[in-house]
Every structure is written in C-alpha cells, then in structure tokens.
Structure 1
Amino acid sequence: MRADVRRWLHDRTYPGNRWEPRALLRAKHQQGTTVSVVLPALDEERTVGAIVTSIRRTLVEACPLVDELVVMDSGSCDRTAAVAGDAGARVVHVDTVLPEHGGVPGKGEALWKSLHVTSGDLLVFVDADLVAFDPRFVVGLLGPLLTDPAVGYVKGLYDRPLTTTEGLVPSGGGRVTELLARPLLNAFWPELSGFVQPLSGEYAGRRELLESVPFASGYGVEFGLLVDLARVAGVSALAQADLGTRQHSHQSDAALGRMAGQILQTAMARRPGGGAPSPELVQFLRTEDGVEAVSWDVGTRDRPPMRLLRAERGGRRR
C-alpha cells in the first residue's frame, strides 16, 4: 500500500462512537455553526418516516444538534412526502427548486438543489431507504467537522449486510463498490483508495466546500464528489467515520447495472489524462479493532498476437 494512503487511513479514519451529541452541541455553539440534514427520497414511504422521527426526537428536540431537517422528494408516486412531513421534516419537491434551470432525473439533482434550499454551514446527507436507522450516524459524521477545522468532508464507512434466500449475511452488500467503484479509484485515483465505502450515501461536508464543486446527476454523484473534492481541497481535507452497520433495501442486478453505468460515465468524465493505471487494489476486512486494509496486485499484461510473434521468429513453431 502507498505510504500516503497508509498515513491517511491512520490520521483520517475515525470511530463514529467517539463523540457524544452534547459535546458536539457545545462545540457547535462555540463556533456559531448551524447544521442541516438532508434526505434525498424517491418512493421511500416505508422507511423515511422512521428516519425523520429518529433524527427529530434525538438530535432536534432532545439535543438540538440539528437545526434543519429536509426531505428532498424527487417526484415520489407513493406517500413519501406525506409520511416525511407528518414525521417532522420540511419536504421540498425537487421540481419546484430552480425551475429556470430545468430538471435532470436522479439523486444528484436532489442533492444539488438541496444546497439552494437549506441554510446550514454543515450539511449531512442520509439515504432515505435505511432500515433500523441510528441517529448516531449523524453524530459520527459531524464529529470530525466540529472538532477539526482541517476536515472539510466526511464519508461514512460501515458493514453492509446482504439479504439472501438463506437469510441475512453479515457482509456482502455494496456490490457496485467492490466490482466497479473501488477498482476505478485504485486504478486512476490511488490516493483515494483508503475510502472503505466510496459510494456511501451517508456523508457530511462544509457548505463552502460543497458549493465549490459540480454535482453529477444520478448515482454518479457520490463518486464525483469524492474525486472533485479531493482535487479542490486535497485528500487531507477528506475523512471517514466508522458508523458500524448499515441496513437498507437491495436492488436487482439489472438496477445495479444501470447504477454502475452512471458511475462509470462520471468516472470517465473525470479520468486524469496520460499514464498507466495503478496495478494495486486495496480492499478491506472487518477486524476486532476496526477495518484492515489488504493490498492486491491486479495488473495485467497483454501478450502479442501469435502471428506477430511467429513472424519475428521466422515462422517457427515448436
């Protein structure tokens, strides 16, 4: 593993349970900082209400760490907007925001437009399809931002149980991450290979930083933000927090293929020019002490067409 990645993993990977809400509330008041939590949602009536209720009760009413709780509804056909509103969120319909700029389908559009309708100095993004949501996710993501001014963006890392016909497997979720996003980062942006969950839907950042980069439409938004923020602010300004376990609904292989296609388009639009890709692939294992990085050499080598080889050898065969 590259020495700079190893140092970053040591310096910028935090246990999410390191901070208590009351301690962060004091830091927030001392700094005069405000916090907005945003949930992008599309047809998530089954889960969005519980998430909003949990955040409202724990981090708005019991301990006012969160100043603003917004659900960005991307045109749900179910009762997502009504359920979120009843649970205590301010619901904003994406099509009503910046209508003069038109609309682009997908998650990235909702996140981009949320910057226009929120006011917090710090923004926390949480997917609306989480099951058994823990409000400590929000606390863990805010911790580095409220305690270290050098940190500008924090990604969540976690185990992702996978539901199969044989029950719940402790890990195995994140198929697009392992099959596409991680190999792409390792090949073309190896300085970012220390991110355990580069496509995590739970992350937080400083407004001035988030407003300085473009937001890719669709499911490419998380990949694009990671690459663009590293370019603008430097990898040392990025961090990750271990949030434990994340449960959510799983999509079909066909849906994941469409997601992968959008991520690939986002990556290719940002691919650095020139030079061979790095042959190293960094993966992660859960241990008693957190996560452990494991490096593999995945470099390949093309052998020449046999006809050319024979021509060079004078047409000789064995």
Structure 2
Amino acid sequence: MPRTLHHRDFADLPALVEAKEAAGLKVSLCIPTLNEEGTIARVVSVLKAALFDEHRLLDELVVIDSGSTDRTRALAAEAGAEVILASDILPFQGPRTGKGENLWKAVYQLTGDILCFVDGDIGNIHPRFVYGTVGPLIRHADLGYVKGFYERPLLAAEGVDPRGGGRVTEILVRPLLQRFCPELAGLHQPLAGEYAARRELLEQFAMPTGYGVELAHLLDCHRLHGIGTIGQTDLDERIHRNRSLAQLGRMSGEILDAFFARAGGTGLQSGPNPQERPPMISLPEYRERFPAAAERARKTA
C-alpha cells in the first residue's frame, strides 16, 4: 500500500524551503498545456506568487506547450512563466504530440532534482497542488514518486456529483490494477496530473507520448523500485473541465496501450509501444546536459 499523507503536513512553507535548501535540492515545476487560455493565467500567477516570489520553494516554473491555437502561451508568459514549445525541445527527435511528449521533454529541459507537474486546467488552483507532492520528497528521503489525490466533482445536466469525476480511473484503471498489480490499486487517483518525482527515477522511464504516461510512470516505478518508493497526498478537491465520452474513450485506448506494453507476467500479450519515447537517460544529449546522469548510467551499465 503506498504511503498516504495530507497536504497540510507540508503547509509550513518557510520550514519546507529551509529543509529544501538544507538538503541542497532544486525544485522545478512543469505545467503541460494545450489550449488552456481560460485557466492558465491564474494557475501560473497563484503558484508563482506563493511558491516562487514569496517563498522560494520553486527554482523554475515552466509551461511546456503542445502548440496551442488560443492565447495560452501569451497569457502564461504575461503571468510570469517561462514558456517553451515542446517542438523546440530536442527537435531532432522528430515531431510527436501529446501530454506524455511534454512530460518526457520536461525531464530534459528542466534542471531540478525534483520535478513537479500540475495540469493547466485547474479551476481552484492553490499552492497545495505543488507543496503537497513536493513536500514528501523533501521530508522523506525514501520516497521517490508522490501522486496527488482529491475529490473530483462532475458537472452534469442534473447538477453536480461531488465524487463523479475520475470516470476512466474507476471504470478502467482501477479494475486493471486490482487484477494485475494489486499493490498499486491502493492509489486513489493513479491518473492524477498533479505529482512530483525525483529526476533519477523519471530519467529511467520510457514514456508514452499521450495520456498513458501517468499509468506508465506508476507501473515502471513499481517494477524498478517497489511500492515503498511511491506515496500519495490528499489535496482535498480539484475542479477542472470534464471531458466528453469520446475524449475519454481515446484516453482509455492510450492507457491500455501503455498497460499492455508493460504487461509481462500478467498473462496478457505484451510488446513495445511505438508511441513511446525511450528513457531519457539513454540519450547522449541528456547525459551531456546532466553529468550526474551520465555517472548514474555508467554505474548501471
């Protein structure tokens, strides 16, 4: 069972920053975006004010954009984020699109020892979405990957279902984990977009370029490092846009691709997923950019 924590345990930001600095850690935040003009300015401004300007928990705040056709990039920059097109990072690797592509490229682009991810569509953004997942990694050296979890209201014609969100999790992902990887079934929100991880873990993961990336992270982390390195933090409630059934269907297909690519030992047919990027540590350009990664790669060769 993953260790379960609560965001209020890490809400003393001056103390958390002091602990970060004492440990010699650098923390980077990535917000992956595609057409988030309705929310991105507030997401960036709230997190920057609390966690970069007032308390320097974050050393970097970067929006990596998939090629938005609205004002997402302009609004994010105006709010104070560094904004980068995913296609401008490692361009010689060829064009791919999708959330997982942004996250994979974040491992190369961002320089932190801890990388934190927050989606750009959160309507009730609060600093807890960052310090709640980063804090455990600062305070607990044995943890390497921390997911957020929360209540997710579902807005429907008949009103608000306070726990109706997370449909793909409950219909698809949780049954898969209960059947084939029960140790991970205790994660409340395995597909949550709010989480933090240590660089030395993320660089080891092959990453699907689409929505299967979050499940792939968990399966690879569990396989490589065991359940003890995974934690989860209660972040209370997350309000965001609800997707259509057609969109959820496409998302489910990408999640299944990621699962089947890692299905060895489950009795299911497994094989490589052509829509995955290789572990970042396998790229010479990454090892040149991060000499410590080159040393880690040498020791495990």
Tell me if both proteins adopt one fold, taking TM over 0.5 as the criterion.
Answer: yes
| Consecutive unaligned residues in structure 2, runs of 5 or more | 269-301
Q: Kindly tell me the number of residue pairs found equivalent between the two proteins.
A: 267
- Render the CA deviation track for 1:75-106: whole Å, top value 9, x for unaligned: 00001000000000000101111111112221
- For 2:266 and 2:106, the matched residues in 1 are separated by 36
Distance 1:33 1:273, change over 3 A: same
- Render the CA deviation track for 1:196-222: whole Å, top value 9, x for unaligned: 000000000001111111111100000
Using the TM superposition, give the Cα deviation of residue 167 of structure 1 relative to its aligned residue in structure 2, in angstroms.
Answer: 2.5
TM-score, scaled relative to structure 2: 0.87
- For 1:163 and 1:41, the matched residues in 2 are separated by 22
Q: Say whether 1:150 aligns with 2:142.
A: yes
* Superposed counterparts of 1:258-277, under 5 Å: 258-273=250-265
- Render the CA deviation track for 1:124-155: whole Å, top value 9, x for unaligned: 00001110111111111111100110000000
* Superposed counterparts of 1:92-171, under 5 Å: 92-171=84-163
- Render the CA deviation track for 1:56-93: whole Å, top value 9, x for unaligned: 10000111111100000100000100000000000010
> Radius of gyration: which is bigger?
1
Alpha carbon RMSD of aligned pairs, Å?
Answer: 1.1
2:32–2:120 contact (8 Å) kept in structure 1: yes
- For 1:129 and 1:261, the matched residues in 2 are separated by 22
Among the aligned pairs, what percent are the same residue? 48
2:132–2:233 contact (8 Å) kept in structure 1: yes
Report the secondary structure of 2:57's partner residue. coil
Aligned with residue 61 of structure 1, among 26, 48, 53: 53
- For 1:272 and 1:198, the matched residues in 2 are separated by 20
- For 2:41 and 2:175, the matched residues in 1 are separated by 35
1:188–1:272 contact (8 Å) kept in structure 2: no
1:13–1:239 contact (8 Å) kept in structure 2: yes
- For 1:105 and 1:75, the matched residues in 2 are separated by 9
* Superposed counterparts of 1:13-24, under 5 Å: 13-19=4-10, 20-24=12-16
* Higher mean displacement: 173-182 or 183-192: 183-192
Q: Say whether 1:186 aligns with 2:195.
A: no
Aligned with residue 251 of structure 1, among 233, 240, 243: 243
Report the secondary structure of 1:178's partner residue. helix
Q: Say whether 1:41 aligns with 2:3.
A: no
Other-structure match for 2:22? 30
Instruction: Return the letter of the residue paired with 1:133.
Output: I
1:73–1:91 contact (8 Å) kept in structure 2: yes
Q: Say whether 1:174 aligns with 2:166.
A: yes
In the TM superposition, structure 1's runs of 4+ consecutive aligned residues that sit over 4 Å from their partners are none
Using the TM superposition, give the Cα deviation of residue 242 of structure 1 relative to its aligned residue in structure 2, in angstroms.
Answer: 0.3
- For 2:162 and 2:249, the matched residues in 1 are separated by 23
- For 2:47 and 2:117, the matched residues in 1 are separated by 12
Distance 1:86 1:274, change over 3 A: closer
Other-structure match for 1:78? 70
